[in-house]
Amino acid sequence: MSISIMYHRDGKGVLHFREAMYDEDSEEFMLNQGKVGNMGTGSATAGVDEAAAEKKFAAFAAKSAELGYAEIPAEEQHWVVAQYALKSAEGTERDRYLEHKARTTLASYFSWRGLGAVEESEFAPGKLNIFILAPDVPKAVKGVLVALRDANLDFTKLSIGSAPVADTSQWKRRHPLPAKQPFTLD
């Protein structure tokens, strides 16, 4: 799937998003927009081949720029990490299912609300880390909590941390609070 997302702050400082997505498998091109953190409004066009999708992405970028939207460079965003404590150092088959389910849930939830993008996941000794690139940390943390709770994924072993992309030595625990120990990836 190809995705392009652009942001704009209105006069009141509220962050808005516009997003274009193309699914090569279903040949569907989707547009979505709204306030970051809220379900956007969208439309979809079926039967779009790759050449037509490229033209639609170009038109989307031009229209977004005309409306004052722009991509936020990665170095100006934050990593938000949803971290699960695992029962074993390497992870079990159940943990691999948790990774798939949590990634899928978060990717869908975040995409339709302009909260950011699930970039990767990794198993560290005794931990599963899911990395999300997000423009607004408080909204992203709230989004992680809501999405995982709605999907009935275990909250008792969940921690959330964040750090600026430009300085990943500055991890801060965001959940659970109060922070009884520092947030670490390993």
| 56-98 tens-digit pLDDT | 999 999 999 999 999 999 999 999 999 999 988 888 999 999 9
What letter would DSSP give residue 38? Answer: S
Query: Cβ neighbours of residue 150 under 8 Å, at least 6 residues apart?
Result: 105, 109
Whole-Å CA distances, 174 to 7, 16, 61, 97, 166: 24, 23, 34, 25, 18
pLDDT band of 167, cuts 50, 70, 90: very high
pLDDT of 176 > 90? The answer is yes
Token pair belonging to 152: 């009935």
Higher pLDDT, 155 or 24: 24
